[in-house]
Structure 1
Amino acid sequence: MTANTPKWHYQEVGTEVTDGEGQSFVWLHGWGQDGASMMRLADLFKTEGRHRIYDQPGFGQTDRLPDGAGTEDYADALALELEKIGPQQHIFIGHSFGGRVSVQMAARHPHLVKAIVLIGGAGLKRRRSLAFRLRAATLKLIGRLARFSDKLFGTSFREAYAKHFGSADYKNAGPLRPTFVKVVNENLIQEAKAVRCPALLIYGSDDTEAPPEIGRKYEQLMPIARFTEVKGFNHWDILTRGAYQCQALIKSFLKDVRDD
């Protein structure tokens, strides 16, 4: 799929980046959120450079990409947007779904990426129990049968299936549902291996959406990566209650990136 060019909406904080001085940051929110979810943490770095806190396509005030777009399409569309700014590298800070897009940016458009920070970054498959895998396989089969029945006999079993078994994100995805389905089935192993920039991986110990095991896998796959597990935080409050812990970790990481 070729990325189109939606009109991106973003908020800015910080100082202007001119004549090679200062650093440009790009902040990418998680699924079902918008740029506002990143503002508290981004504001802590307003003296560190210029920050663009984006609404990703289909969220907030940025228009959708074509149906079924994957994170590679989000990255390609964002690359087109950033090329307008000029030839400079950015530090990407992505939460959850925004972490997926940050990995894709580093893999597909390395000339635009100085470093990436994933906070509860998703994109790799989790270890699942045999019971879970069997249940998932059974539900997948039921879903296929429901779709086949609807197509062949004009039933509405697929809609009933989605209402009963679909996740909250799936049910709330609306017109983004094809994209949601594609995204949750991605496994960014090869993309992670292709990342050559420094990466900081921050995961809450109580995160059940993107558990620390994903961060450890990313650390193994990426050549220059640092994994940190932050005790006592889940997938969401790591951005709010845990903002100062994230700030300290990111500041230390930025110092090392600048010293390289």
Structure 2
Amino acid sequence: MARKERMARRTVRYNGSRMRVRELRGDRERTFVLVHGIGVSSTYFEPLGYALHPHGEVLLLDLPGFGGIPRPKRPLTISGFADIVRAGLEHEGIENPVFIGHSMGAQVVVDLLSRHDVSSHTVLIGPPVNPAEPGVGQQAWRLLQSAAYESRRLRVLASRAYLRCGPAWFIEVLPSMMRYPMREQLPQVRSEVLLLTGEHDTVVPEPWVSEMLSLLPHGRAETIPGAAHNVVYEHSDQVAALTLAHLGLDPS
């Protein structure tokens, strides 16, 4: 088996906040930018990053306060995270990236693209929050239901990331995620959007997917059989294949 290329890493700063960029260098004609969800880090994106790497450069981002990155002095809103991502990409000289946002990361990508038309193709995976169940308790229960379909290995990986993040920063960021106005922002996104969900993702049920599709100017949806909310980890090959097909590329 060929040895995987080691990811380069560096930290960029914007308005007093830090963000880590982990990179698999490749052809800059196409750059994939992966944005993680709340509480976790870019680690669970690694299998997907390596699956995409033959088709372009891959950037895995660790947002401020996550993955061991210091917390900013003040809590960040979803728009605040989006501003940092955009500043980081400008610093890297990235043009027309292929954004892949998972969970809260999908909100960050939507916010960025609703204000800046900088990406022709985007993949949103498991975007919260289902407006039919807007409560924190409801969402926590749905996440637990979804987790029953995920492996022990993934649960351990996620638990370590949550512990590293710490409850204080999680609790500070959570209200912004819960209140983010996806319904208002999705119509402003001009990118060609692929909505991906897992078959057992109870956080993002079919009615919410259908509503998001009705709001997006250019969107379509795919469901990955057997997958749950954290579809990007154990189903990385399927996510990569669907992403490449979305771009009109042969995934083989």
Taking structure 1 as the reference length, the TM-score comes to: 0.73
For residue 184 of structure 1, what is the aligned residue in structure 2? 178
Counterpart CA distance in 2 for 1:174 and 1:69 is 13
For residue 15 of structure 1, what is the aligned residue in structure 2? 26
Shift of 1:66: 4.5
For residue 242 of structure 1, what is the aligned residue in structure 2? 235
Q: 1:117 to 1:82 in 2, by over 3 A?
A: same
Q: Is the 8 A contact 2:38 2:170 kept in 1?
A: no
Is the counterpart of residue 89 in structure 1 residue 96 in structure 2?
A: yes
Is the counterpart of residue 202 in structure 1 residue 196 in structure 2?
A: yes
Is the counterpart of residue 127 in structure 1 residue 138 in structure 2?
A: no
User: 1:1-260 to 2 correspondence within 5 Å?
Assistant: 4-17=15-28, 22-86=29-93, 88-110=95-117, 112-122=118-128, 124-128=129-133, 173-236=167-230, 238-255=231-248
Deviations 1:117-147 (A, max 9, x none): 011122x43324xxx98x98xxxxxxxxxxx
For residue 142 of structure 1, what is the aligned residue in structure 2? none
Shift of 1:93: 0.4
Q: Is the 8 A contact 2:77 2:173 kept in 1?
A: yes
Please provide the CA RMSD for this pair: 2.4
Q: What secondary structure, in the 3-state scheme, does the structure 2 residue paired with 1:255 have?
A: coil
Counterpart CA distance in 1 for 2:32 and 2:232 is 17
Q: What secondary structure, in the 3-state scheme, does the structure 2 residue paired with 1:8 have?
A: strand
Count of residue correspondences? 210
Q: Which runs of 5+ in 2 are unaligned?
A: 1-13, 139-161
Q: What secondary structure, in the 3-state scheme, does the structure 2 residue paired with 1:103 have?
A: helix
Counterpart CA distance in 1 for 2:51 and 2:94 is 26
Taking structure 2 as the reference length, the TM-score comes to: 0.75
Which structure has the larger Rg? 1
Q: Which runs of 5+ in 1 are unaligned?
A: 137-168
Deviations 1:25-80 (A, max 9, x none): 11011111111111101110111111110111110133334533211110011111
Shift of 1:213: 3.1
For residue 144 of structure 1, what is the aligned residue in structure 2? none
Q: 1:25 to 1:201 in 2, by over 3 A?
A: same
Shift of 1:234: 0.7
> Structure 1 vs Structure 2: percent identity of aligned residues?
24
Deviations 1:187-244 (A, max 9, x none): 21121010011001001121122334332222111110011122221112x2233222
